[in-house]
Structure 1
């Protein structure tokens, strides 16, 4: 009887730890390309671990990459995979070369992703996209994706913060400090808008405004961080890893 109880205990511990490992989501870096690709570079994290959670996260990352590689109206995206998007981008470049042979400047597109923060509650990821289709300068864009670590579903910015108005009061001085040497209008609280990109990192909450979001392209990206100890009580998700 003792041997049976011991065996059952071992089995329970084994099942517990295997289930625990299966819940955790980790990431591996992958490079995605196609056979005839010459102008697109895609390096992104791929979620592994719990199959359900990983599948949802990877699907959202794929959608964002496809959108960033798309040329034309956002509502006209028809690519079903990153590979198809890469091929479409290359075909557009080949068509451009045929139509304008006198223009020798090559196109390029690069997308790099990194995990900014990961905890049992929330995962924050940054995708940096650079695209040049022969213009005077390329376009740089950063996108933050926040995921519920238990489901893999994306978290809207409004659900990251418990009290948006108080959060804006705390964020405004950091915004003014980050933009004090830039030629942009400094808003008062009632006109201050939070950026499209808000995410977690190891030290606090990161707020990032892409070029054109609140200022001319020449101003570049505006980014600043609010330490966790200044904002902790207003966060909807625990900052502890």
Structure 2
């Protein structure tokens, strides 16, 4: 009888754990600011569930925002929270104006995000940041964060592929077709995959940020590879 009771308890916890992992994570757009904020606008998707997977995803997204707003060395700025980093960015601007009151440059930071792909296996979040701290022009950056849907674990780009060299060969053909009229910092013979690769409704999206492979005038270079062409190289292909 006692053994049967332990078996029932074990089954209950197994079912509870399984149900938690089977819940498809939902997101809500969240605006984050602080009381004294004047120059930072943050609008990011955060997972709504109170599960370990959702918390892991939110931690990675918030970490991106915190890093983007980093001006000084990591041991100086507030890296505890997004609100703390917003305050630090504002304080840095206040200090700048105090030192250079004649400066006509104003600072700003805009960070936006959206979920661009979601299945029971993988979730891809796109985060776009624009920061200007008084230079000739601001810095625009787009990053893709890929997550295991069941665990919320961030997936390193190489782990998206079964055969990354095979995918690279396919990607090179699509890359060459997309940059025919652009000036590059390297020959297509030395083709390298970008830092940012993600999933989208159009297929696997590859994105080179400004200066990554081309002059500033070329801007961001982005192209997609249809799932039909890429699926044999992908770890996650339930689309």
Secondary structure of 1:35 counterpart: coil
**Cα displacement string for residues 196-239 of structure 1 (whole angstroms, at most 9, x for unaligned residues):** 00000012000001112112222211100000011111110024
Distance 1:54 1:209 in 2: 28
Q: How does 1:10-29 map to 2 (within 5 A)?
A: 19=19, 23-29=23-29
- 1:77–1:121 Cα change, 3 Å: farther
1:186 deviates by 3.4
Q: What SS is found at the alignment partner of 2:96?
A: helix
| Aligned-residue offset at 1:129 | 0.3
Q: CA RMSD in A?
A: 2.0
User: In the alignment, is residue 115 of structure 1 matched against residue 122 of structure 2?
Assistant: no
> Which consecutive residues of structure 1, in runs of 5 or more, have no partner in the other structure?
1-11
Aligned to 1:196: 195
Q: Map of 1:212-223 to 2, 5 A cutoff?
A: 212-223=211-222
Match of 2:85 in 1: 85
What's 1:161 paired with? 161
Structure 2 Cα separation of the partners of residues 60 and 76 of structure 1: 21
SS of match in other structure, 2:48:
strand
Matched, 1:42 2:42: yes
State how far apart, in whole Å, the 2-side matches of 1:149 and 1:21 are.
8
Partner of 2:3: none
Aligned to 2:207: 208
SS at 1:153 equivalent: coil
Measure how far apart 1:50 and its partner are: 5.2
For residues 87 and 174 of structure 1, do their structure 2 counterparts lie closer, same or farther at Cα, with a shift above 3 Å needed? same
2:188 aligned partner: 187
Query: Residue in 2 aligned with 1:228?
Result: 227
Change (3 A) 1:228 1:22: closer
Deviation at residue 73 of structure 1 after TM alignment: 4.4
Query: Structure 1-normalised TM-score?
Result: 0.87
**TM-score for both structures, normalised by structure 2:** 0.88
Indicate the residue corresponding to 1:96 in structure 2.
96
SS of 2:136's partner is: coil
Q: Residues 4-42 of structure 1, C-alpha deviation per residue, up to 9 Å, x if partnerless? A: xxxxxxxx9xx99x9379722010000000011000000
Which stretches of structure 1, 4 residues or more, deviate above 3 A after TM superposition? 18-22, 72-78
- Structure 2: 5+ residue runs without aligned partners? 1-11
Q: Secondary structure at the match of 1:223?
A: strand
Q: 1:96 to 1:76 in 2, by over 3 A?
A: closer
After superposition, the Cα gap between the structure-2 partners of 1:105 and 1:35, relative to the gap in structure 1 and judged at 3 Å, is: same
Does the C-alpha gap of structure 1 residues 219 and 75 become closer, same or farther in structure 2, counting only changes over 3 Å?
farther
